Amino acid sequence: MSSIEHALVPGTFDPITFGHIDVVRRASRLFPRVTVAVAESLGKNGVGTVFTLDERVEMASRALSDIDNVSVLPFTGLLVDFAREQHAGAVVKGLRAMTDFEYELQQAELNYRLDAELESIYVMSSPQYGYLSSSVVRQIASFGGDVSDFVPACVVGALRDRFR
């Protein structure tokens, strides 16, 4: 059995949170090379994203710049196609709750049907981030709340500018 040299950590990252960063750091300890795959996600939850794809890539790149074996790339289309293009053998996702598990199980089963060679690997959310989601951060920021405990400084500023 060969080892996996390259893993993807996919998501919309609208915006990237400390919970996302925790998952990426943990993936970076498991794999020699990790790519954070920022999805275009034009129709997530029936609405578009707050930040453009380029803005989300920039924020993620800044937030993860201290991790040597991590790069950040945008992608459109199917994750399995992007994984093939990048020669990635695994997808790493974080799980916070049972609702995450149900959604991620469905995604893993679909990805397996599309590419049985692509492994799906899950890490449990660190306890301090189990409640954290991009949508909660956006909601708090939209009402002028302080989100500095949830996201890096570069994201705090971007949210402040977006919701002025």
Options 28, 93, 125, 134, the catalytic residue = 134
20 is catalytic: yes
44 is catalytic: yes
Options 44, 62, 84, 162, the catalytic residue = 44
71 is catalytic: no
Options 26, 96, 120, 162, the catalytic residue = 96
Residue showing tokens 């750091």: 25
6 is catalytic: no
- Dihedral sign computed on CA atoms, order 104, 107, 113, 117: negative
Cα dist from 160 to 6, 55, 65, 81, whole Å: 35, 14, 22, 35
Tell me the catalytic residues: 20, 44, 96, 134
